Amino acid sequence: MRLAVFRWIATRVIAGCAAGCLALLLLTAGCVSKATADARARMAYLAGQQAAYAQFQQQQIHGPSISFIGPVQNHFVKWTDGLTLGQAIVSAAYMAPNDPRTIVIRRQGAQIPFDPKRLLSGDDFPLAAGDIVELQP
């Protein structure tokens, strides 16, 4: 009788352990080590620094400018006092066959969404030196 009880308990413990190990394996499958997470954070930080340095170099070469991301012929437009978004898009020579779906202006780390329909209705937006304009067709 004792042997039968012992076998019953042993099978439950083994089954429970297997289920627990499987659950632990499934829970940790998407995890990364601290070293990997630190390396990814370091790479993202360095990529941001490189982008900022590239923008700084571009401003040193061309003076204050506006950078464009998207389908434009000129990715850098010289900034002048009073330059507006509409004027800058014309100077950048937007090349997509359709009007942009979205416009996002990045200024000093902030993202400013701008509805393209506002430009068509005559509502323009003043740009500052160093702004990055992203046009998404």
Q: For residue 62, is pLDDT > 80?
A: no
Q: pLDDT at position 5, please?
A: 40
Alpha-carbon distance 91 to 133, whole Å? Answer: 13
- Report pLDDT for 41: 83
Topology (CATH) of 63-136: Outer membrane lipoprotein wza fold like (3.10.560)
Report field, pTM of the whole predicted structure over 0.75: no
Average pLDDT, the chain: 79
Mean pLDDT of 69-76: 93
pLDDT band at 63 (very low <50, low <70, confident <90, very high): confident
Contacts of 83 (CB under 8 A, 6+ apart): 66, 77, 126, 127
Q: What is the three-class DSSP state of 75?
A: coil
Lowest-pLDDT range of 26-40, 73-87, 102-116, 123-137:
26-40
Residue 40, pLDDT > 90, answer no
Which comes out higher in pLDDT, residue 11 or 34?
A: 34
Query: Which residues lie below 8 Å from residue 111, measured CB to CB, with a gap of 6+?
Result: 104, 105
Q: Where are the domains positioned within the chain?
A: 1-30, 32-62, 63-136
Asked if pLDDT for residue 10 goes beyond 50, the answer is no
pLDDT of residue 45: 77
Q: Which residues contact 100 (CB under 8 A, 6 or more apart)?
A: 70, 94, 116, 135, 136, 137
Question: For 109-113, what is the mean pLDDT?
Answer: 94
